Amino acid sequence: CISKESNDLVLSQIADVIKINYQNQCGIIYCFSRAGYDRVGNRKNKRQNKNLISILAQYLLADNIHALSYHADLNDSLRQTINIR
């Protein structure tokens, strides 16, 4: 189990690395598995909306880093929209 404090620290470190090393660039953050995605990017209410932005993307957006979630549950239209951005 990952504590909220350790999860917040990891998210903060990811944001710092992006801001320091990859400012004005684009990139992809991979999770090793769906379980990893669910831990780092735990969606608030899976039944309500399958396409909610992950916690990681929400955290990055709050830190002025443009971010979108991309995963196997997205429909083709959303995947295409994200790829264009």
Average pLDDT over residues 8-24: 90
Farthest-apart Cα atoms in the chain, separation: 37
pLDDT, greater one: 18 or 6: 18
Task: Examine the pLDDT at 42 and tell me if it is beyond 60.
Answer: no
Domain ranges for the chain: 4-84
Residue appearing with tokens 């443009």: 66
Task: Examine the pLDDT at 44 and tell me if it is beyond 80.
Answer: no
The reported pLDDT for the residue numbered 17 is 93
Interhelix angle 55-62/4-21, nearest 10 degrees: 50
Q: How far is CA 43 from CA 4, 25, 71, 82, in A?
A: 15, 26, 12, 18
The reported pLDDT for the residue numbered 46 is 44
Q: How confident is the model at residue 67 (pLDDT cuts 50, 70, 90)?
A: confident
Residue 31: count other Cβ atoms within 10 Å of its Cβ. 15
pTM: 0.63
Q: How confident is the model at residue 48 (pLDDT cuts 50, 70, 90)?
A: very low
Q: Which of 32, 33, 53, 30 is nearest to 42 (CA)?
A: 53
CA–CA dist 14, 10 (Å, integer): 6
